Structure 1
Amino acid sequence: MSAQVNPGRHTAAAEGDVVVFLIGMRINRLWALRSWLPVFTAMPRMLRELSRDKGSGFLGYRLLFGGRVICVLQYWSTKEQLFSYAAQQDKQHRPAWTAFNRRARAGKGRVGIWHETYAVPAGSYESVYVDMPGFGLGGVAGVVPVGRRGETAAQRLKAGERAA
């Protein structure tokens, strides 16, 4: 994702369905490094693996930090591709998940994890970025001037409904 500011008003160039996947961890006991550090270090390996695999359906991500919570905002082409990655025995996710479950039983609540998946049909999302570098969906799909899709959120949603 570029740090160069796109001057003016833009909207995401994404078309079609999109899947938004939020996954994160919460450090419940800060000094329990052996419980949460392996969880923290597993995610960068998965993100590198996904970023290299152009056929995975993974579009991109953004890291978000807030206190004891670390969140990864991910964008995927389809929920089937997301679920497929999660289930593949030869990818980074399965061993990380197995290891987490083993440590979680022994760690008794020292670290928490969570995820949320949103399958968003075409025509059901819109965006605006004003004087921003690529961010969110616009960061992974690119941006176009808002005039191409509509000046207001309602107009952009209506344009997305027509395109769907």
Structure 2
Amino acid sequence: MSDKPVQGRMTADAEGEVIVFLIGMRINSFRAVRSWWPVFLAMPRMLKELSKDKSSGLRGYQLLMGGPRVLYTVQYWESKEKLFAYASAQDKEHRPAWAAFNRRAREGKGNVGIWHETYIVPAGSYENIYMNMPAFGLGAAAGVAPVARRGERAAERLGAA
């Protein structure tokens, strides 16, 4: 992903259904490093594994902070089937990370929390605009195209105009 802004008004060059997966952690006790540090380290390992495997279904992601205690990623997937396959694969990073988190959660008495949300967005039910921005969000995952190609207004891009 380039940090160089793309000049003008762009929109994501995505077609069809979009799977948006949000996943994160909340540090409930900064002093309990043994509880949250392994959780913190697990996500980069999974993202590295997924990014190396072009057939994994991960189209792109953004790492974000939700204040001093919350770290999360917004992920874009090709399909819910590929997301679910990764989550349940015995030979991938997710299963051992999930098992380790559950062990630590029982022992750590709530020192760290995790959460996730999955959104299956049908074709025609999303729109976006990026103005003088580097590729970001769905635009980074799917590429960008000039806004005029999909419609000048949000309502047009959603097919509501």
How high is the TM-score relative to the length of structure 2?
0.97
Checking the alignment, whether the CA contact within 8 Å between 1:2 and 1:139 is kept in structure 2 is no
Match of 1:63 in 2: 63
RMSD (Å), alpha carbons: 0.9
Checking the alignment, whether the CA contact within 8 Å between 1:21 and 1:75 is kept in structure 2 is yes
Q: Percent identity?
A: 69
- Tell me how far 1:140 sits from its aligned partner: 1.0
Residues 121-147 of structure 1: CA distance to partner in whole angstroms, max 9, x if unpaired? 111101000110000000111100000
Partner SS state of residue 97, structure 1: helix
- Tell me how far 1:2 sits from its aligned partner: 1.5
Runs of 4+ in 1 over 2 A off after TM superposition: none
Partner SS state of residue 55, structure 2: coil
Match of 1:121 in 2: 122
Partner SS state of residue 118, structure 2: strand
Match of 1:45 in 2: 45
Match of 1:143 in 2: 144
1:36 alignment partner AA:
W
Partner SS state of residue 140, structure 2: helix
Matched, 1:154 2:155: yes
Provide the rounded CA distance (Å) in 2 between the counterparts of 1:29 and 1:122: 41
Provide the rounded CA distance (Å) in 2 between the counterparts of 1:148 and 1:8: 13
Unaligned runs of 5+ in 1: 160-164
Q: What is the count of residue pairs matched by the alignment?
A: 159
- Tell me how far 1:56 sits from its aligned partner: 1.1
Matched, 1:132 2:118: no
